Chains A and B, each alone.
Chain A
Amino acid sequence: MYQYNEIDQKIVDERVAQFRKQTQRFLSGELSADEFRPLRLRNGLYIQTHAPMLRVAGPYGLLNSKQVRMLAHIARKYDKGYCHFTTRQNIQYNWPKLEEVPDILEELASVQMHAIQTSGACMRNTTSDHLAGVCVDEIEDPRPYCEIIRQWTTLHPEFDYLPRKFKIAVSGSQRDRAATQFHDIGIHIVKNETGDIGFRILVGGGLGRTPVIGQVIKPYLEQQHLLSYLEAILRIYNLFGRRDNKYKARIKILVRETGLEKFNDMVEAEWLRIKDGMELSAERVAAVKTHFTPPPYEANTDQDTRFAEQLANDKAFATWHKYNTAPHKVAGYQAVYLSLKAPDTPPGDMTDQQLDAVADLADRYSFGEIRVTHRQNLVFSDVKQGDLFALWQQLDSLKLAMPNIGTATDMICCPGLDFCSLANAGSIGVAKEINDALDDMDYLHDIGELKINMSGCMNGCAHQSVGHIGILGVDKKGVEWYQITLGGSSENEAAIGERLGPAVAKDQVTNTITTILDVYVKQRLEDEAFLDMVNRVGIAPFKDRVYANN
């Protein structure tokens, strides 16, 4: 993974000093709360229901074991012994003290981490495929381009005060695991007819209050023009994006109100004026690629025979293997998911002990690297098949081996009303109730692939509008209600879920979900996944059953 050079280190160190100064100016009254807000937000610091919340960047989801140990240390020293992994591959702390945040940032900088631009109306952490570089369907590894974009977006002087937040995601595979169609800019690595690597650029996607699927603005962009093209889009957005209404300020609204064709003309005209001055050199790309060379894989690891025996002899291991591993491009290696969706923990949360143990396991089994997924789990990307059994046993003892990846209890869930000042309704408690109702693993596995996403408010941090089942908490006269949607997807066949009907009361959410699943089990065709059935029959059969008694 990318290792900082002197310049990278200097930037994060100077950022810490800058934020320390800003915090002092605020605490001494030289900066008002309104003036300090955009500054602290650009360092990931929100003021939340109970305490500030600090969001730390996980650059395109990559962490090393040393960094994970630092996350554990921070959880212990400055927080309540845990942290939370987010859908944008970042890490959140819910209980830091404002005056200690500069110290936290200084500790992070010592392991090449930061919280730069993890919130606020600026360019955010670039996200990507958690299986980058190891998956079998990859056109090219997206990580070097993510790093190039990370550097370009970091402390960009012209685009730090945008109309609204701005998110970029990059996918290098056939299958989109980074929800690129729901980002302000989605970048797909593609090959043209002559075999050259370039980019398909999508613009104007987004979730939140107005979910929109991104549209292709550039079917093929030559590699050397990546940054000039991004700059052209950002300049048009910065100049013309709406600033009169924060709910209409995302680039998706500018694209919609301008029309894609005209917006495209504006970007193209801007791009043509700047592109020749800022080409990405082949040398630069090659230099960044040297940070992402494959680890020293051992030969003949696929000759290991114990693995097949273990699979045959241990049903629990075989089940875990079926759900919580992914194929690897190197024979004898596999990628392993660490489920952060154990029944009794809030989705995406980890304790300091778990973090330390995971760092040790990563060193032992996966070249010291840990990845954060878009669905709030972790991945060890390079595990020998002969090590899987031992790794599984240790993950199991850490409660990180719940065989539920991609199933109904692998829910995406925001912190909700319990922590977030924006939320209208609780989410963690509801997630737990659904989890408890689906505790029969055979039933869960029979249901199969199912993505349930639940957000505690319209801001949609947990991407409910693209959940196969989406649950959205709303406030009606001080009472928590939940809107259910069906048929959303953030993958290749992107879709926004359709409202099932009137919102349901909090104590009816779990019933509603189990009723929906019951309809699915009864009416599905052989091997038909939940989303496929919804696409085939529509929402009517589900609606009829859910609202049958009303």
Chain B
Amino acid sequence: MQIIKDNQIIDNSWHYVNEADTPSAGDISVSLAHWEKDKAQLLQHTGKLGVRLVPGDAVDTLAQDLNNIQLIELDFPDLADGRLFSLAWLLRSRYGYQGELRATGNYVAEQVFYLSRVGVNAFVPQKPDDLAAIQACLGDFSVNYQASIN
């Protein structure tokens, strides 16, 4: 599968895995609950680690672990749930997260300009055809009224 990262189309190397089915190697992301429960074990994992957040998740406890995490996914249950925009802002601004911040799930290309402004730098398309639309929408505006992350 291809995704957009830093405005380039690249091949995705990450896999979201559940507790029962965690491979011993490879780049994996897990739910916040999984992370909190099995953190010690996961830190022994061969390969990079990521956490997948959903709108109700609080990021303040995750803040202390950010150095061990190379990917945070923001998983949209539907496009109207704007909590993930604030989580992105908090991760970048308050907690200084420098790794990949990726939108996934049921958002639309039309939202990626705002997502990029609050610090999201990678986008998993809902359908492969959306890659071009996402790239185009990243350039929707050339000026802004207010400060954010970007």
Residues of A within 8 A of B (CB): 7, 10-11, 14-15, 17-18, 21-22, 25, 30-31, 35, 38-39, 121, 151-152, 154-163, 227, 235, 238-239, 243, 273, 278
Asked if B79 contacts A238 (CB within 8 A), the reply is: no
Asked if A14 contacts B82 (CB within 8 A), the reply is: no
Q: How far is the CB of B147 from chain A (nearest CB, A)?
A: 7
**How distant is the Cα of A30 from the Cα of B132 in the complex, in angstroms?**
12
Whether B14 sits at the interface, judged by CB under 8 Å, is no
Asked if A35 contacts B86 (CB within 8 A), the reply is: no
**How distant is the Cα of A163 from the Cα of B85 in the complex, in angstroms?**
12
Asked if B85 contacts A158 (CB within 8 A), the reply is: yes
Asked if A14 contacts B108 (CB within 8 A), the reply is: no
Asked if A10 contacts B145 (CB within 8 A), the reply is: no
Answer whether A159 and B140 are a contact pair too, CB < 8 Å, given A35-B108, A38-B80, A154-B145.
no
Interface centre among A15, A18, A155, A273, by most chain B C-beta atoms within 10 angstroms, is: A155
Whether B89 sits at the interface, judged by CB under 8 Å, is yes
Asked if A31 contacts B117 (CB within 8 A), the reply is: no
Asked if A38 contacts B143 (CB within 8 A), the reply is: no
Report A-chain residues with C-beta under 8 Å of the C-beta of B30.
Answer: none
Report A-chain residues with C-beta under 8 Å of the C-beta of B83.
Answer: 238-239, 243
Asked if A158 contacts B86 (CB within 8 A), the reply is: yes
Q: How far is the CB of B36 from chain A (nearest CB, A)?
A: 19
Answer whether A30 and B114 are a contact pair too, CB < 8 Å, given A14-B142, A121-B80.
no
Q: How far is the CB of B118 from chain A (nearest CB, A)?
A: 5
Interface centre among A15, A21, A227, by most chain B C-beta atoms within 10 angstroms, is: A21
Asked if B80 contacts A156 (CB within 8 A), the reply is: no
Report B-chain residues with C-beta under 8 Å of the C-beta of A239.
Answer: 83, 86-87
**How distant is the Cα of A39 from the Cα of B113 in the complex, in angstroms?**
13
Q: Which of B37-53 contact A (CB under 8 A)?
A: none
Set A17, A158, A243: member contacting B148, Cβ < 8 A: A158
| Complex: chain A residue closest to B113, CB-CB | A157
Report A-chain residues with C-beta under 8 Å of the C-beta of B118.
Answer: 157-158
Chain B interface extent, by class: 20 to 34
Report A-chain residues with C-beta under 8 Å of the C-beta of B140.
Answer: 14, 17-18
Asked if B147 contacts A161 (CB within 8 A), the reply is: no
Set A30, A121, A158: member contacting B133, Cβ < 8 A: A30
- If A18-B141, A161-B111 are given as contacts, then 11 extra A-B residue pairs at C-beta distance below 8 Å, sorted by A number, are A14-B143, A18-B137, A151-B146, A155-B145, A157-B148, A158-B148, A160-B114, A235-B89, A238-B83, A239-B86, A239-B87
Asked if A31 contacts B147 (CB within 8 A), the reply is: no
Set B79, B94, B117, B129: member contacting A161, Cβ < 8 A: B79
Q: Which of B107-149 contact A (CB under 8 A)?
A: 108, 110-111, 113-115, 117-118, 129, 133, 136-137, 140-148
| Complex: chain B residue closest to A238, CB-CB | B86
| Complex: chain B residue closest to A39, CB-CB | B110
Asked if A156 contacts B146 (CB within 8 A), the reply is: yes
Whether B19 sits at the interface, judged by CB under 8 Å, is no
**How distant is the Cα of A105 from the Cα of B46 in the complex, in angstroms?**
54
Could you jot down 12 A-B contacts, CB within 8 Å?
A7-B143, A11-B143, A11-B145, A14-B141, A21-B136, A35-B79, A35-B110, A157-B148, A158-B86, A158-B148, A159-B82, A243-B83
Set A17, A22, A161: member contacting B82, Cβ < 8 A: A161
Interface centre among A10, A15, A38, A157, by most chain B C-beta atoms within 10 angstroms, is: A157
Report B-chain residues with C-beta under 8 Å of the C-beta of A156.
Answer: 145-146
**How distant is the Cα of A15 from the Cα of B111 in the complex, in angstroms?**
13
Whether B65 sits at the interface, judged by CB under 8 Å, is no
Report A-chain residues with C-beta under 8 Å of the C-beta of B55.
Answer: 243
Whether B81 sits at the interface, judged by CB under 8 Å, is yes
Set A152, A157, A161, A227: member contacting B81, Cβ < 8 A: A161
Report B-chain residues with C-beta under 8 Å of the C-beta of A158.
Answer: 82, 85-86, 89, 114, 117-118, 148
- B81-98, CB under 8 A of A: which get 1 and which 0? 111011101000010000
Report B-chain residues with C-beta under 8 Å of the C-beta of A278.
Answer: 147
Q: How far is the CB of A194 from chain B (nearest CB, A)?
A: 30
**How distant is the Cα of A31 from the Cα of B129 in the complex, in angstroms?**
12
Set A10, A30, A161: member contacting B85, Cβ < 8 A: A161
| Complex: chain B residue closest to A273, CB-CB | B94
Q: How far is the CB of A259 from chain B (nearest CB, A)?
A: 20
Report B-chain residues with C-beta under 8 Å of the C-beta of A160.
Answer: 82, 85, 114
Set B87, B110, B114, B136: member contacting A157, Cβ < 8 A: B114
Asked if A155 contacts B79 (CB within 8 A), the reply is: no
Q: How far is the CB of A536 from chain B (nearest CB, A)?
A: 47
Asked if A162 contacts B79 (CB within 8 A), the reply is: no
